[in-house]
Amino acid sequence: MCTYLTVKDGVEGSAKGPGGSWFRVTDVTVYYDHPVHAMAEHTLNIDFSAPAAGPGARVALELTAESAQALVAAVQKALDAVPVEMLS
Amino acid sequence: MTQLPTGASASGSLTATTVTLPGHGGDTIEAYVAMPEGDTRRGGVVVIHHLPGYDRPTKEIARRFAELGYDAVCPNLYSREAPGASPDDAAAVARSNGGVPDERLVGDVAGAVEYLRALPTSNGKVGVIGHCSGGRQTVLAACHLDVDAAVDCYGAFVTGIIPPNLPLKVTTLVDQLPELRAPLLGLFGAEDSHPSPEQVAELEQLLTDLGKDFEFHSYEGAGHAFFAVNRPSYNVAAANDGWERIESFFARHIGG
């Protein structure tokens, strides 16, 4: 299925991308659709990118729905454990 | 066995290369061209790539049409957003931008159709085929361009209801179907949800009411993307039968 459902947001941080180089990421795109590489009919796909640096400045993730939910929970758990004064 | 069109090389020999051609608005766009060996007059096929991009499996489809005896061209619909980028990176940019606008798609396919008809080997006839998002775009192109045959492989959002707040700029084609000007072959998976069997039935009813020339087949046990040989959704029986129907349909409408 092509859900065409795409969620976009701005992010601030860095990612290790093509060629093993770090780059500053400015955008994230999240969608549930066919993967390019993962062996599943559909996956939750996340693209961290820096459009200003060109199409190749991208780190892509393709996760099964179950793995994506586990990731969401893990991220939330890690953030919940951080003292409030450190969250800035 | 389906009879091959007269353009087919008995050995299956072909050449494939990358060219540029004028697309929508006169923009220069990249395209992949595959042609059978020899100078026999033959039909042409425009292969519209799916949302994941101008990728290796789509180029394989173009080469298969050359092996079947057609000149085939696949325009890179993401030429403008990400020239020279890898197909998956280019697709990510296009998706992030909201997809390919319909008007631009029609212009790019028109450029590909003109390119095919200008080839010295052309018999003047051109068919269009697309899978997934390319299936919808095939129907769209056949509503606006003078092509001789169109093959929609499980294109979503031709009918049905577009979900609210959809970031991609897509509409159904219901209001454009009266303009459909080519015979349409539709190949669908009965287990697909985009398009669902209900949406396929809606399209079938609309085309019947409009008196259009069409032929639909839905495969039991097949879901979306059953032609995709590199995905778990690949369904051998449906894909083999589907290819035979495509060969027969194109032989009838653009062969010779």
Nearest CA in chain A to B53: A36
List, as ranges, residues 217-256 from B with C-beta within 8 Å of A: 223-225, 231-233
* Alpha-carbon dihedral angle through residues B204, B188, B77, B64, given to the nearest 10 degrees: -120
B contact test, residue of A4, A29, A48, A62 with most B CBs within 10 A = A4
The residue type found at B226 is: F
**Touching check for B153 and chain A: CB below 8 Å?**
no
pLDDT of residue B166: 66
Is B206 within a domain? Answer: yes
B158 neighbors B125 (Cβ within 8 angstroms): no
- The partner residues of A33 in beta bridges, in order of sequence, read A43
In 3D space, the residue among B91, B41, B37, B44 whose CA is nearest the CA of residue B67 turns out to be B37
Is B123 within a domain? Answer: yes
List, as ranges, residues 3-42 from B with C-beta within 8 Å of A: none
In 3D space, the residue among A58, A52, A7 whose CA is nearest the CA of residue A36 turns out to be A58
What would the DSSP string read from start to end of A15-36?
Answer: EE-GGG-EEEEEEEEEEEE--S
Is B8 within a domain? Answer: no
Domain count for chain B = 1
pLDDT digits (tens, 9 = 90+) for B21-63: 999 999 999 999 999 999 999 999 999 999 889 999 999 999 9
Residue B57: phi and psi, rounded to 5, are -60, -35
Is B96's CB within 8 Å of A29's CB? yes
pLDDT digits (tens, 9 = 90+) for A10-68: 999 999 988 889 999 999 999 998 888 999 888 999 999 999 999 999 999 999 999 99
Is A40's CB within 8 Å of B232's CB? yes
CATH of the domain at B30: 3.40.50.1820
pLDDT of residue B195: 95
Structural domain boundaries of chain A?
6-82
Nearest CA to CA, how far is B168 from chain A (Å)? 6
HSE at residue A35, side-chain half, CA atoms within 13 A, is 19
Nearest CA to CA, how far is A80 from chain B (Å)? 30
Is A31's CB within 8 Å of B170's CB? no
Nearest CA in chain A to B165: A5
Is B207 within a domain? Answer: yes
**Which residues of chain B register pLDDT less than 70?**
1-6, 165-169
Domain, as residue range, for B88? 14-253
Is B170 within a domain? Answer: yes
pLDDT of residue A1: 43
pLDDT of residue A17: 87
Of B85, B89, B233, the CB nearest to A41: B233
Rounded Cα–Cα distance for residues B130 and B141 (Å): 10
Both tokens of residue A51?
A: 């459009």
